[in-house]
Structure 1
Amino acid sequence: MDLFSSEKIKNILPFDGITNYHGIVLNKEQSDFYYQKLLETIAWKNDEALIFGKKIITKRKVAWYGSSEFSYTYSGITKKALLFTEELTALKNLVEKESGETYNSCLLNLYHSGEEGMAYHSDGEKMLKKNGAIASLSLGAERKFSFKHKETKQRIDILLERGSLLVMKDVTQQNWLHRLPPTKKVFTPRINLTFRTIDLN
């Protein structure tokens, strides 16, 4: 099977946005290799966020890398990017080839089990390129991923397979929320890489 065949790319949103599911872009051997490498080499830290003025520290761990050491603010917390590692550069190149987009940063999430997730939100930080693509690469455990339209409340669910790529673009962030719902059925970790473009102008 041709992993880069356009026939398997599908926009999963019915309207008001484009979110293309590219399916599996890393085979099992590649996926397992990068999963283990990232577990061992990424500078993981518990995430911090300001919620109603109170600092919250999450169970899940995060890391932020980029093509330069620029700063990035989300959820009221400013982070400074570490420089892309060799493995992240290789994955960025693969994702850019598959998606036809370019990226200059990557926010990584480490969910230790299904009990850790992410609430509904949209990635609308001012530093992000307006209507720019956000490419989500999944390693490790398979997890359900949900979208909810901001007006109609229509919900779309998709199972993100190990080694798969999901690309949110166009006006998706303006019109849809997304989340990673917690589950008691998953006991192993998942690493999620979200490649994005910081507007440096």
Structure 2
Amino acid sequence: MTLFTDIQDASKNLLPKNGIVNYYGKILDHQSADFYYQKLLDEIAWENDQAVIFGKLIVTKRKVAWYGEKPFQYTYSNITKTALPWTDELLALKEKIEKLSGETFNSCLLNLYHNGNEGMAWHSDGEKDLKKDGAIASLSFGAERKFAFKHKEDKTTVSLLLEHGSLLIMKGTTQTHWLHRLPSTKLVSKPRINLTFRTIVAS
């Protein structure tokens, strides 16, 4: 396992093969990151996430929200969500990320983890609603958390710490060949907000 910390070279690919992951580090100063964290915490229409697993409806402690430029339908874990219209803060963050990365996005799935006990199991974002091999930009606020990748075939793992106000971008064939997760931890007691900007392909 490789653990990356304090990476400044956004052009560096964190994956050894079969995909591209770039970590930009903190793209916002601490005051701006604090501002957005509080705004998102207070004003986003958070709701508990749901999943249908083996025919049973599971409600998670983690909360989510789904926003976009149109009322896009997005289906994952056998649950379909309809996007809410952009907030001013989400639009401002989207434009900043697009300018930095050269990518474009039309939607955003937000996650609120109340503490380290809440995480995300190994998965890849390969839903049919998403642009194939499209970039996914992950912007983090709040508690610093470990984030990990695992190759689907040879099980190689790569890990890094996602900082308050930091940006990570996954693109190329990353979702095809790699899983990723946010492991739970008893060492974190504060919330983390994660924005994942995506491109939905309207049917």
| Equivalent-residue separation in structure 2 for 1:9 and 1:194 (angstroms) | 20
What residue identity is the alignment partner of 2:185?
T
Q: CA RMSD in A?
A: 1.0
Is 1:66–1:106's contact at 8 Å kept on the other side of the alignment? yes
Q: Structure 1 length normalisation: TM-score?
A: 0.95
Which position in structure 2 is the counterpart of 1:51?
53
Is 1:71–1:81's contact at 8 Å kept on the other side of the alignment? yes
| Equivalent-residue separation in structure 1 for 2:144 and 2:75 (angstroms) | 29
Number of aligned residues: 196
The alpha carbon displacement at 1:8 in A equals 4.2
Is 2:9–2:23's contact at 8 Å kept on the other side of the alignment? no
Residue of 30, 54, 64 corresponding to 2:32: 30
| Equivalent-residue separation in structure 1 for 2:87 and 2:42 (angstroms) | 12
| Equivalent-residue separation in structure 2 for 1:9 and 1:28 (angstroms) | 23
Structure 1 residue ranges (4+ consecutive) displaced by more than 3 angstroms after TM superposition: 6-9
Which position in structure 2 is the counterpart of 1:150?
152
Residue of 89, 93, 96 corresponding to 1:91: 93
Is 2:74–2:80's contact at 8 Å kept on the other side of the alignment? yes
Which position in structure 1 is the counterpart of 2:136?
134
Which position in structure 2 is the counterpart of 1:186?
188
Is 2:19–2:172's contact at 8 Å kept on the other side of the alignment? yes
Which position in structure 2 is the counterpart of 1:103?
105
The alpha carbon displacement at 1:10 in A equals 2.2
The alpha carbon displacement at 1:141 in A equals 0.4
Change (3 A) 1:104 1:185: same
* SS of residue in 2 equivalent to 1:11: coil
Q: Percent identity?
A: 67
What residue identity is the alignment partner of 2:95?
N
| Equivalent-residue separation in structure 1 for 2:192 and 2:11 (angstroms) | 23
Gaps of at least 5 residues in structure 2 are: 1-7
* SS of residue in 1 equivalent to 2:200: coil
Which position in structure 2 is the counterpart of 1:3?
none
| Equivalent-residue separation in structure 1 for 2:78 and 2:9 (angstroms) | 41
CA offset digits 1:101-141 (Å, max 9, x no partner): 00000000000000000000000000100100000000000
Q: Structure 2 length normalisation: TM-score?
A: 0.95
